[in-house]
Amino acid sequence: MKPFIHNDWWPVLEPEFEQDYYQELRKFLVEEYQHYRIDPDMYHIFTAFDWTPFSQVKVVILGQDPYHNPGQAHGCSFSVLPGTKLPPSLVNIYKELQSDVGCTPVQHGYLKKWADQGVLLLNSVLTVRDGAAFSHKGHGWERLTDAAIAKLSARPEPVVFILWGRAARSKISLIDTKTNIVLQSAHPSPLSANRGFFGSKPFSKTNIALTSLGETPIDWQLPEHVSVDPGGPQTNPTQAEEN
């Protein structure tokens, strides 16, 4: 199979791509991309993995479903491309970021600076049909991303897992909580942010945890001006075949 993740995630996840469930998922995606508008673009499905190599992951911010409004999703949880209106959940993340660690809010939602420092921005489902939330749920993505979480949990180097909301918290069974650090709270969505997300201080708690592990803390302050790194693989993963 021709690699479509271009770093050390490939040998970690390649066995999953060879499983029957993934082949069925690939067939499903081929049909979906042919007949509907799907986010993200097929070449950017695995951007989160491309931006943050397996060996460099220090933190995981786990999302559920990609943004399903046109042009928002680009392969990383909670992040949007520059020039895109900030989604309500990200607005609330920025409010907590300012309250927690004093970061100045920016007008874009491009979180690549976090990814470059070892923050894996992972959704449990990696694609979605425009305007149809959870439309690709239950087609196989969860098995792949569960495997990624489990592999990170089993690494000798501990990881800080940030689990926002019930769906993310349901993944705690995949994580060895004796060797890794888990931070849990309500989801930043406007529907739940006032029920435990605001005031949860995930960013300062993450840096305290990283410092205790001997790791460099994350600089959460995003730059005001950014240029787009398209990320993602050069190979279309819906067409990748075994050699």
Residue 238: closest CA among 45, 26, 49, 37: 26
What domains lie within the chain, and their CATH numbers?
Answer: 9-212 (3.40.470.10)
Check: CB of residue 41 under 8 Å from CB of residue 26.
Answer: no
Q: What is the pLDDT of residue 71?
A: 84
Question: Residue 93 above 50 pLDDT?
Answer: yes
Maximum C-alpha span of the chain: 52
224, two tokens: 């005001």
Mean pLDDT of all residues in 61-84: 92
- At residue 18, what is the residue type? E
pLDDT digits (tens, 9 = 90+) for 18-53: 999 999 999 999 999 999 999 999 999 999 999 999
Check: CB of residue 177 under 8 Å from CB of residue 150.
Answer: no
Q: What is the pLDDT of residue 183?
A: 98
CA 167 from chain center: how many Å? 14
Q: For the chain, give the mean pLDDT.
A: 93
pTM above 0.85, yes or no: yes
Confidence of residue 241 (pLDDT cuts 50, 70, 90): very low
Question: Residue 125 above 80 pLDDT?
Answer: yes
Give me the percent of the chain exceeding a pLDDT of 90.
87
65 is catalytic: yes
Confidence of residue 77 (pLDDT cuts 50, 70, 90): very high
- What are the residue ranges of helices labelled H in 18-64? 20-35, 47-51
Question: Residue 231 above 80 pLDDT?
Answer: no
Q: What is the pLDDT of residue 218?
A: 99
Mean pLDDT of all residues in 89-115: 97
DSSP 170-197: GGGGGS-TTTSEEEEE--SSTTTGGGTT
Kindly name the residue from 39, 65, 100, 229 that is annotated as catalytic: 65
Question: Residue 236 above 80 pLDDT?
Answer: no
Q: How many CB atoms lie within 10 A of CB 174?
A: 17
Confidence of residue 242 (pLDDT cuts 50, 70, 90): very low
For 51, residues 6+ apart whose C-beta sits below 8 A from its C-beta are 76, 112, 115, 116, 121, 229, 231
pLDDT digits (tens, 9 = 90+) for 164-196: 999 999 999 999 999 999 999 999 999 999 989
Q: How many CB atoms lie within 10 A of CB 42?
A: 18
Give me the percent of the chain exceeding a pLDDT of 70.
94
Question: Residue 234 above 80 pLDDT?
Answer: no
